[in-house]
Amino acid sequence: MKVVMPFMNPAAVDNPYFALGSMTKIAPGITGHLVDEGVKGVYIITFGSLKQGKGNTGRFIDELKKKYQIVRFPNIVNPIVEGMLLRRGFKRKREYVPALKAHANVYVWKK
């Protein structure tokens, strides 16, 4: 039997946020990794909806915008999520992400 490993961003090697199976509940219907940096805002390093098509992701993004001054989503690869972020006023920037220890494309929203 051939085992196929999922693609992993090279910046994620040695990064505990990308350990498979270690995502925790960060919002109703959402699991992932959230890094709260106080006045610097919040990074959503990785996330996923427990039930797709139920509006969990949209509600999650909207709640983050209410709670934080700055919200950042690095390395978005899903075009549906990318569209959701752009429609909600996020701008794509290239910046250093401390949790990833690398530069990345980051979708940023500021109040």
**pLDDT tens by residue, 9-35:** 554 555 555 554 567 899 999 988 899
Predicted confidence (pLDDT) at residue 109 exceeds the cutoff of 90: yes
Predicted local distance difference test score (pLDDT) of residue 20: 46
Query: How many structural domains comprise the chain?
Result: 1
Any domain includes 89: yes
Angle, CA of 19, 22 and 23, to the nearest 5°: 115
pLDDT exceeds 70 at position 72: yes
Residue range 60-88: average pLDDT? 95
* CA dist., res. 31 & res. 13, Å (int): 21
- Full domain range(s) for residue 63: 10-110
State the chain's mean pLDDT as an integer. 84
- CATH number at 54 reads 3.40.630
